[in-house]
Amino acid sequence: MTNKLEMLASLGIEIVPMPALDRHIVFARGPYATLVERTESGFGRIGSTGMITEAGLSMLMWRGEKAFFVAKQHEQEATAEQVEALRRFSSDLERALRAC
């Protein structure tokens, strides 16, 4: 477990305290966040990654060739840079949690 936490820290990924969540852990880097299932042995399933906006966690959705961050009553077009940053964060998080 310590190795995973060290790897997460080296990638700039942090745990966001969310006392109201008892079955999930929130990991974030910059404006991107993912909920990960908390299990007795550590970390379980990794949820979808989204971007934290004024409307909360907005998920990436595709409409044809265009990407959007969408939350309840909120939508904003995603730039290519944002999509790439979200994908890098998601990939780094999965790699760190599956390590060891």
Q: Which fold has domain 2-51+80-98?
A: TATA-Binding Protein (3.30.310)
Which pLDDT score, from 0 to 100, does residue 100 have?
A: 59
**DSSP output for the chain:** -HHHHHHHHHTT-EEEP-TT-SSEEEEEETTEEEEEEEETTEEEEEEEEEEEETTEEEEEEEETTEEEEEETTEEEEPPHHHHHHHHHHHHHHHHHHH--
Which pLDDT score, from 0 to 100, does residue 32 have?
A: 98
In tens digits, the chain (100 residues) has pLDDT values of: 678 889 999 999 999 988 888 899 999 999 999 999 999 888 899 999 999 999 989 999 999 999 999 999 999 999 999 999 999 999 999 999 988 5
Alpha-carbon distance of 35 to 50, in angstroms, equals 9
Q: pTM for the complete prediction? A: 0.89
The ranges assigned to domains in the chain are: 2-51+80-98
